[in-house]
Structure 1
Amino acid sequence: MRIDAYSLPVATVMESPAQPVEAIARCELYRLLADPVRVRLLGLAAAEELAVGELAELLREGQPKISRHAAALREAGILLARRQGTWTLLRLDPRATTDPVVDDAVRAGQRACAADGTLARIEEVLAARDAETREFFARGGRPLRSGPPSELAAYLAALAPLLPHRRLAVDAGTGDGALLEVLSPVFDRVVALDRASAQLQLAAERMRRRSLENVELVCGEIDGSEVIRAVARALGGDPPEAGEPLSGGADVVFAARVLHHAPQPARAMRALVELARPAAPPHGDDALRARGGAVCVLDYEAHNDPTLREQEADIWLGFTPADLRRLAEEAGLCGIEIRRLPSAWQGEGPDRHLVWQLLVGWRGARTGAFTG
C-alpha cells in the first residue's frame, strides 16, 4: 500500500536548524552519520525538498523512523524543514556542506541512492504530488462563468507595477462605480465623480463590498470646482484659485458612456482634457514633449435607435468616429486612436446592440484654464 506522503506528525520536525553544524563535536558528528539510512536520507534531501512521507516511501522505511532520523539531523544543523499545512518538507542546509565530513556523507548518500535507483524515483514521487490536481482539471475543473472573474482585482494589481504612470485616475460619470473595480487595483488614487447622489450611493456600497479604499467620491459636474479640489487633494497640492487651471492632473481620465449624456459634448470633452496631466514643456532645442495624461472616452458610434432616449435618457444618438476625433483634437488631445470594440465586451444592457468605440488620446501642453 502506498504511504501517504503528507499525513505526518509535524511536531517531530522544527522549521529551522537547532544549531550550526560546526557546533557539533566531531565524535558526535561521526556517530550521527554512521547510520546508512541517515546518509541516504541526506543524499535525497540534497537532490530535492521532500516530505517525510515521500522520503519514507523512497527509502522503504516507516514514517516514524524517518521522522526520528530527520529530527536528529535537524538538531545537528544539517537539515532544514518547513511546514505546508499538514506537510513537513525537508531539505539539506547548504551551509552544512562546508563541513567536509557532512559533504562526504551527502556525496556517499547520493552515490548509494543512484546505485539502487532511489534517486531516479524522485521524479515519480514528484509527479504523484499533482496527480489529484491533474485529474481535477482533466474533468473540466470549475464550470465556466460568463463575465469577468471575481478575482479580477488581484490580476490587475499584479499588472499595475508594469504601468509607468498610475498615480491618479479620474472616473468621470462613475455611475454605480463598476469601472472602479478596474481602476482601484491599478492606480494609487482614484477620483470618481457623478452629478447624481443616488448613483454615488451605489458606488459607495460597491466600494465597501469590494474593499476599494483608495477612491474618493465627488458629487458634481466634470468642470465643477468640487472635482478640481478633489484632484488637487489626490495630488497632494493646494486647489487652484477660481479660474486658474490645475498645477498637475490625472495620469488617466476615463469617461465611459458619458459623452452622449452631455448637453454640450465639446464642452464636456474640454473639461475631461483639463483634468488630465499636461505634457511637459520642451527642454532647450528639443521639440519633443513628454506625453501628458491620457483621456479615454468610451461611447457609441452614431446610430438610429431613439428608444435609448426614453430608456436611458440619452441626449445624443452616438457619434461618428470623425466627429469624436474632431471633438478630441479641438479639446487639445494628440496621438489619438479610435477603435471599435467586440460586441462580446458590451455587457447585457439595453445598449448592447450598438457599436461601441473607444477613443484614447494624450493631452498636449497646457492651453489655459477651462473657459466653457
Structure 2
Amino acid sequence: MSLHPDSSPSTADAAARCELYKLLAEPVRLRLLGLAAAEELAVGELAELLREGQPKVSRHAAALREAGLLLARRQGTWTLLRLAPDVQRDPVVDDAVRAGTRACEADGTMARIADLLAGRDQETRDFFARGGRPVRAGAPSEVASYIAALAPLIPHRLLAIDAGTGDGALLEVLGPIFHRVVAIDRSAAQLELARERARRRELHNVDLVCDELDGLGVRKAIARALGQSPSASAGADVVFAARMLHHAPQPLQTLRALARLARAPKAGERGGAVCVLDYEAHDDLLLREQEADVWLGFEPKQLRELALEAGLVDIEMRQLPAAWQGEGPDRHLTWQLLVGFRSDAAPPTNEASRTP
C-alpha cells in the first residue's frame, strides 16, 4: 500500500488510497496509532490501555503493520509496537495519528501510559528493595565489562606492556582496554599461570614473553604488536611495573629499561607513560624471606629522583588507600603509585645493562 500518492495517480494508486482510508476508518486503529506514536508498547499493554481484548488489538495491530504504519519488535514473549518512522509525511496518516492522539487524551488513556510504565518497573523496585543480590567481597566478576567501557576515554591505547606480569592479574585490567598487551616475565612457571588466566578470561590480545626487559624477545613482541620491524624504534603507550621494582637488583637500571619500552615523544605530544606501583619504605623483614624482596620499599622522594634520572618527566605520585591493596602478605604496607612520561632524555638501549 503506497503512503505517498504519485503526482499523476494511476488506477492502482487510487485503489491503494481507498484501502488506506478504509484501514483508518476504524476508531480502535486510530487510537492504536496515537498510543504507538507516544510510546513503544507491548500488545498486552495496548489492550490494557484501550480496555479491549488482546486478540482484537492484535488483529488491528496486524493490519496496521501490514500497511507499514506500525513496526514490531520481539522481546521475549512480548511484541512491542511503535509508529513507523516518516509515515506521518503522508497527510492522511498524519491526520489519523493526530485524531487517535486527541481521542486518547480526551478519555484519559494517554495519561495512563505513565502508570503502565511505572508498573513495568515495580518488580525491579521490589527486588532491590529486598536487598537484591547478596553483596560479596572483592571486584565483581563482570569487572572487565566495566573496564572496557572506560577504554574510549583513553586517547592512546594501541599497546600496553605488563613488566613482571607474574600470574597475570594485571592482564584482566589491561586486556579489555588496550588493542595489544605484551606481558613480560623471567619465570616460565609464572608465565604459564598468566597464560591460563588469559585463556580463561578470553584475553586473545595478550602476547606472553619470557625474557629480560631489554631482551630481543621483548623488542620482537613489541614490533609484532605494532606491525613494525624489530629494528624500528617502537614503544608502548603505557608500561606498567606493578610491585616488581622492589625485586630489582638495580632499581635505577630497571626504571631506565621501563622508560625505553615506552614510545618516544613526538612533536606536540609527550611520550608513553610508565606506571610504577610499589611500596613506601617499610621495615618488614619477613617479606625478604617470604616473597624474595630485595628492597624494603622506597621513600617517595627517592622513587621520584630515580624516575627523573631514568628519563621520566611530568611525574605524579599518590598514596593508595589500604582498601585497594588486596588480601596478600603485603596488604599491611603503604602502597604508592608513580606515573611519569618518557622524555627525549631517556637513555638509549645500549646505555644500561640488562635488567630483571
Same fold (TM over 0.5): yes
User: Are 1:76 and 2:76 counterparts?
Assistant: no
User: Residue type matched to 2:146 in 1?
Assistant: Y
Q: CA deviation at 1:321?
A: 0.7
- Give yes or no for the alignment of 1:60 onto 2:51: yes
Partner of 1:161: 152
Write the mapping of 1:44-59 to structure 2, written as runs, cut at 5 A.
44-59=35-50
Instruction: Tell me, yes or no, if the aligned pair for 1:21 and 1:78 is still in contact at 8 Å.
Output: no
Q: Could you give the per-residue CA deviations for residues 253-278 of structure 1, whole angstroms, max 9, x where no partner exists?
A: 00000011111111111110110111
Residues in 2 aligned to 1:222 and 1:367: alpha-carbon distance in whole angstroms: 14
Which residue does 1:104 correspond to in 2? Answer: 95
Residue of structure 1 in register with 2:30 after alignment: 39
Mapping for residues 188-337 of structure 1, pairs under 5 Å: 188-240=179-231, 247-281=233-267, 290-337=269-316
1:343 matched to which residue of 2? 322
Q: TM-score of the superposition, structure 2-length normalised?
A: 0.93
* Cross-structure match for 2:122: 131
Aligned 1:174-193 pairs, distance under 5 A: 174-193=165-184
Q: Deviations over 1:300-319 (max 9, x none)?
A: 11110100011101111111
- Does the 8 Å CA contact 1:271/1:370 hold for their aligned counterparts? no
Deviations 1:315-358 (A, max 9, x none): 11111111111110110001111111000000000000000011
**Gap change, CA 1:370 and 1:359, over 3 Å in 2:** farther
Deviations 1:102-129 (A, max 9, x none): 2211111111111111111111111111
Q: RMSD of aligned C-alpha atoms?
A: 1.3
Change (3 A) 1:158 1:171: same
SS of the equivalent of 1:177 reads: coil
Aligned to 1:5: none
1:87 is aligned with what amino acid?
W
Match of 1:54, SS?
Answer: helix
Count of residue pairs brought into register by the alignment: 342
The superposition leaves residues 172-210 of structure 1 with CA deviations (integer Å, 9 ceiling, x where unpaired) of: 000000000000110111000000000000000001100
How is 1:357-372 mapped onto 2 (pairs within 5 angstroms)? Answer: 357-365=336-344, 367-372=347-352
Matched to 1:261, the amino acid is: H
Cα separation, 2, equivalents of 1:20 and 1:252: 58
1:21 alignment partner in structure 2: 3
Q: Tell me, yes or no, if the aligned pair for 2:239 and 2:261 is still in contact at 8 Å.
A: yes
> Does structure 2 conserve the Cα–Cα contact (< 8 Å) formed by 1:274 and 1:370?
no
**Secondary structure of the corresponding residue to residue 21 of structure 1:** coil
C-alpha deviations, 1:195-247, integer Å up to 9, x for none?
Answer: 0000000000001100000000000111222112211221111112xxxxx51
4+ long deviations beyond 4 Å:
none
The answer (yes or no) to whether the contact 1:20–1:77 under 8 Å persists in 2 is no
Q: CA deviation at 1:27?
A: 2.0
- For the Cα contact (< 8 Å) 2:279–2:333, is it kept in 1? yes
Question: Which residue of structure 1 aligns with residue 9 of structure 2?
Answer: none
Deviation at 1:144, TM superposition (A): 1.3
Q: Deviations over 1:55-81 (max 9, x none)?
A: 000100010000000001111111111
In structure 2, give the amino acid aligned to 1:251: D
Q: What SS class does the counterpart of residue 89 from structure 1 fall into? A: strand
Note if contact 1:252-1:293 (Cα within 8 Å) is conserved in structure 2: yes
**Alpha-carbon contact 2:256-2:347 (below 8 Å) kept:** no
The aligned counterpart of 1:89 is 80
Tell whether 2:112 aligns with 1:121: yes
Describe the shift of the 1:20–1:189 C-alpha distance in structure 2 as closer, same or farther (beyond 3 A).
farther
Q: CA deviation at 1:171?
A: 0.2
Tell me the distance in 2 between the aligned counterparts of 1:127 and 1:149: 29
Find the aligned partners of 1:369 and 1:199 in 2 and give their Cα distance.
Answer: 26
Aligned partners of 2:35 and 2:104 also within 8 Å:
yes
- In structure 1, the residue matched to 2:7 is none
**Which one of 348, 351, 356 corresponds to residue 335 of structure 2?**
356
Amino acid at match of 2:221: A
Q: In structure 2, what is the Cα distance between the partners aligned to 1:223 and 1:39?
A: 74
Shift of 1:20: 4.7
- Partner residue, 2:131: 140
